[in-house]
Every structure is written in C-alpha cells, then in structure tokens.
A and B are shown apart, each in its own frame.
Chain A
Amino acid sequence: MLTIPKKFVDDMIDHAKSESPLECCGILAGKEETVTHIYKMKNTENDPDKYFMEPKEQFVAIKDMRAKGIDMLAIYHSHPHSPARPSGVDIKLAFYPDAIYIIVSLMDAAKPVIKGFLIKEGKVEETAIKIN
C-alpha cells in the first residue's frame, strides 16, 4: 500500500488551496511504496477544469528522480470544485499505468478529500493510501 508521510499530504492540500480555483498538479516519488519526495509542478492550463504539467519541469523532475534513484509513485492533481474521482479526461490521459493517480478534492474546503486510483487501459480502481 502506498504510504505518504502526513507532511506531504499537507503539502498537497496547501498546493491545491494555493492554486484554487485552478487545478494544481505534482508528483510523489520514493522507494518501494513509501513517498520521500514531492515535486510541486506548474499547471500550464489557465482553466479550472484542466491541468497540463509544464513539460520542462516534468522532464527535470524525471531526471532528478533518476539521479536520486527514486521512482515516480504517484501523480496528484486537485479538483477544486468536484469530487475526488477521475473525470473522463483524467482517465483518457492517464498514460502512467504504474503510478497511483491521487486526486485532492476541495469541494468541501474545510474537509479536503484525498483518494488514490490505479488507471489502466481505461479501467479505474480505487486504491487505499496509508497516511502516517
């Protein structure tokens, strides 16, 4: 099960709030199933219903992970005003079947909801996340 230290969960929520009403996006990386690094990335879409990770930043992050010997474990983005479940476009554009897609929903701003999903060939399966 993917384990995310609470500080990184707080970082994702802070990132989502700071970008709201736009979506935020980023990468969680680590070893085995434990997150050790967060990459808060730039969303190039100026639209509250879309995200597109800035390609150069993505490339730099991938090289950094390679250099550190860590793996991309999860990809996160926020849904500022909709539930924590993948949209049709999220599913269509899920090109990383080995990564867990995390959605941070701010629909209830007082109680952000975080859920993880595996998305493989159009099929979505919620996966449990351990926060410690």
Chain B
Amino acid sequence: MPVKVKIPTPLRKLTANKGEVEVDGKTIGEMIENLEKSYPGLKERLCDEAGAIRRFVNVYINEEDIRFMQGKDTSLKDGDEVSIIPAIAGGNIN
C-alpha cells in the first residue's frame, strides 16, 4: 500500500535530496517506521522521545491535518499523498 510522501527542503539531506518518496504503511505511524528504514534519522526529526509527532511538525494527508484526524493512528489508503511541513513558529520563551 504505497503512499507518496512530500519531504520538506530541510529534511531532504536525509532522503538523498528527494522531495517526494514512496513508502508503504497502513497508518501514519507505520509510514514513519518505514520511512526510518529507508531513510535513517528521519523518525527522530518527526517524532519526540516518546514517539509522538513533534509539535513543530505538521503532517497532512491530502488536504487534512492529522491532528484533526487520529494523529499517528490515522489510516492511509493506496495513492494518498502525505505532506510533511515544518511549522513556522518562534517566540521569546518556550
């Protein structure tokens, strides 16, 4: 069940400069595990130590933000397009 994953510029050094890759996965969580197998180091950039998707990483399936779906458990179907987009954020305090 391959899906297309759009990789943002700052992460392309981990994907041999590819802006789009194809991986399998029935859920976003599985897709991330498979991304890590093909492109080691990617998972750490996407997920925190507890395995949750980092607050400053936005993940969309087609047009939808997975925060408003089932997060990492959101199902994927053949041909879905997943976009990984780093947040734009900042501030004086954490």
Tell me, yes or no, whether A binds B.
yes
Q: Do A51 and B91 form a contact, CB below 8 Å, given A96-B9, A97-B10?
A: yes
**Shortest Cβ gap from A25 to chain B (Å):** 7
Contact A58 B88 (CB under 8 A): yes
Q: How many residues of A contact B (CB 8 A)?
A: 31
Contact B58 A89 (CB under 8 A): no
Query: A51 is contacted by which of B58, B67, B83, B90 (Cβ under 8 Å)?
Result: B90
Render A90-102 as a binary contact track against B, CB cut-off 8 A, 1 for contact. 1001111110000
Q: Give Cα A109–Cα B41 distance, bound, in whole angstroms.
A: 45
Contact A90 B90 (CB under 8 A): yes
Q: Does B87 contact A (CB under 8 A)?
A: yes
Q: Do A93 and B85 form a contact, CB below 8 Å, given A55-B65, A55-B67?
A: no
Main SS class of interface, B: mixed
Q: How many residues of B contact A (CB 8 A)?
A: 20
Q: Do A93 and B92 form a contact, CB below 8 Å, given A55-B67, A58-B58, A59-B60?
A: no
Contact A62 B85 (CB under 8 A): yes
A77 contacts across to B, CB distance below 8 A:
90
Interface residues of B (CB under 8 A from A): 8-10, 56, 58, 60, 63, 65, 67, 83, 85-94
The 5 closest A-B pairs by CB, nearest first: A50-B91, A95-B86, A90-B90, A49-B92, A53-B88
Interface residues of A (CB under 8 A from B): 23, 25, 27, 41, 45, 47, 49-53, 55-56, 58-59, 62, 75, 77, 79, 82, 86-90, 93-98
